[in-house]
Amino acid sequence: MPKMEASSSTSHDPALFHAPLLYHPRRRSSRPLKGFAVIIGSVVFLLSLVTLIVNQSPEPLASNPSSVTEAGSYSMAAQPRGIAEGVSAKSNPSLFDKVGFNWTNAMFYWQRTAYHFQPQKNWMNDPDGPLYHKGWYHLFYQYNPDSAIWGNITWGHAVSTDLIHWFYLPLAMVPDQWYDINGCWTGSATLLPDGRIVMLYTGSTNDSVQVQNLAYPANLSDPLLLQWLKYPGNPVVVPPTGIEDEEFRDPTTAWLGPDGSWRIAVGTRFNTTIGTALVFQTTNFSDYELLDGVLHAVPGTGMWECVDFYPVAINGSVGLDTTALGPGIKHVLKASLDDTKVDHYAIGTYDMITDKWTPDDPEEDVGIGLKVDYGRYYASKTFFDQSKQRRILYGWVNETDSEADDLEKGWASIQTIPRSVLYDNKTGTHLLQWPVEEVESLRLNATVFKDVVVEAGSVVPLDIGTATQLDILAEFEIETLVLNSTEDEVSDCGDGAVDRSTYGPFGVLVIADDSLSELTPIYFRPLNTSDGSLETYFCADETRSSKAPDVTKRVYGGKIPVLDDENYNMRVLVDHSVVESFGGGGRTVITSRVYPTEAIYGAARLFLFNNASGVNVKATLKIWEMNSAFIRPFPFEETLFQEMVAST
């Protein structure tokens, strides 16, 4: 758990703002538990018995034809585009029965982030092939050079020396061959021991068949890797017998097996419902053999895309190269579920002889257990940063407004702040995600609030001025425990911060205006259990984040372990229309998109709140105003930067 830092910054002890309760208690019934077991048999597929826990199924994102309104009602929407092309619905549908909000140019301008990566204009989705080469971090990404909506997918390219300040480079790959004419889709980079770089990516052929293709840099001595060559013998992998032509994509970074050959995993499905990762073996990256069985398969999870597979050290503080094997290592298997648009992961054991992976806990298997991020987040990908011995995670965050709005403002989607990933050896069940240390270089003036008592049912304004770009560290302590509470408590995030219980919710209100007509609560919700212990959820409530009706607004969150020697701590990165929230040192993470109409520019404020019915909480915070990052085209004509490139 990160500790609160000492600071010489100004401290404040704000007077408690006693307001009528912001929220009103509402009850809803818990969803029932259902279980089933499925046995799958095939010469290609693993025989397994997997127990599914239906109430842990993620709620749909972009593919869900519904939008949650402030009142909790649902409205039918147009089917998202992309389905006809045989890929994920990559765009947010317009809402038929919602009147479009009268957005102003000033509102659209405010929504653009200040220190998250996004293109200058147009559409972006999945991160592709991240790597570190000759002093530069490279990020490739799915990009539409022609429009702010999905289509004509090429590979955009950007570089950075610190993962925060970025230079746009020319397009890396365009769909110009029969094997990728319908799109250069998601792929991964592998750095070979001799310094070569190979890039495997999915192409959609002229017949819309998904195949795997090989590309490599034209000049390895170029630190910017400006030119990429496609292998003349592409495609190198085609859908095996029994696999649907349009459900076979997104090759992983390769790892080296004990037999000296390389392996990659590719996502697919079997019998339309069994999410599956196939393993292929190669010695030269141009010829591949499908191995017997599967790396792993989970019934009921549907198509797996953007599969990621990597090792973590169970007693380490650094990341591991993808090829690392041996004692003291667990393996993470992550899949992006096409049916629900949610990234799930599980921790388990990889058998390097049989090339099979087994989850530590079958009830927390891929697709039915832990999520990488519980909010608006998808298609994540990691890479090993050999310069700092760490594993870095990227994730795509799309918009929740309408396509018409995206077309009007001229851009859509961002990438999260890169996150470091470690195994949580305190719980043994979770990963820890944390913003890379470089983001702290953007911190400006800091303000500290110590031991602020937030009474039950109250809101406390925090006087920090404009609250549009922030880095917040907050720690909460429940003042007293209420024993044997018999209050009927909703056993999850409920309907949001409106659902009161004995111990919560409590947390911060970000991107709020003075009148609290718009606000986004980030909060903890501890709940009594039948054995007298507390079970805690970490949540984000977007339902009152905007007065605009044509914006999707949801309550996100998940269970978070809080150990006996720990307080409730969170870190929240606020950057205009995106809020990234890290609970418990990064055990549970939530990304939110918010589109306020009034809580913008100088009107954006920050508050503490406590909507518990029975206890006070004490809060200590350190809050930094965040500078903007420079994200702009590479200055090829500037001598200074030419010298910088030459020196690396």
In angstroms, the CA 110 to CA 81 distance is 27
Among 125, 109, 210, 228, residue whose Cα is nearest residue 174? 228
* Encoded tokens for 559: 């269970």
Dihedral of CA atoms 342, 348, 354, 356 in degrees, nearest 10, equals: -20
Q: What SS3 string covers 449-511?
A: EEEEEECCCEEEECCCCCCCEEEEEEEEEECCCCCCCCCCCCCCCCCCCCCCCCCCCEEEEEE
Q: H helices of 315-435, where?
A: 403-409
Parallel, antiparallel, or unpaired: how do β-strands 10-12 and 443-454 relate? parallel
CA atoms within 13 A on the CB side of 600: 22
Q: From the centroid of its chain, how far is CA 272?
A: 25
Find out whether 385 and 366 touch, Cβ atoms under 8 Å.
no
Note if the bond before 435 is cis, omega within 30 degrees: no
Find out whether 311 and 331 touch, Cβ atoms under 8 Å.
yes
What Cα–Cα distance (Å) separates residue 627 from each residue in 114, 162, 441, 479? 8, 15, 9, 35
Find out whether 503 and 583 touch, Cβ atoms under 8 Å.
no
Q: Is 126 an annotated catalytic residue? A: yes
In angstroms, the CA 596 to CA 315 distance is 43
**Three-state DSSP class for 442?**
helix
Q: How deeply is 416 buried, as exposed, middle or buried, from its count of CB atoms within 10 A (0-12, 13-18, 19+)? A: buried
Q: What SS3 string covers 61-106?
A: CCCCCEEECCCCCEEEECCCCCHHHCCCCCCCCCECCCCCCCCCHH
* Encoded tokens for 595: 């589109």
**Three-state DSSP class for 407?**
helix
Identify the active-site residue in 13, 126, 338, 550: 126
Find out whether 412 and 124 touch, Cβ atoms under 8 Å.
yes
Find out whether 281 and 289 touch, Cβ atoms under 8 Å.
yes
Find out whether 520 and 556 touch, Cβ atoms under 8 Å.
no
Give the total residue count for the chain: 648
Note if the bond before 235 is cis, omega within 30 degrees: yes
**Three-state DSSP class for 324?**
coil
Q: DSSP assignment of 127-190, as one string?
A: EEEEEEETTEEEEEEEEETT-SSS-S-EEEEEEESSSSSEEEEEEEE-S-STTTTT-EEEEEEE
Among 83, 61, 75, 170, residue whose Cα is nearest residue 120? 170
Q: DSSP assignment of 255-284, as one string?
A: EE-TTS-EEEEEEEEETTTEEEEEEEEESS
Residues labelled catalytic = 126
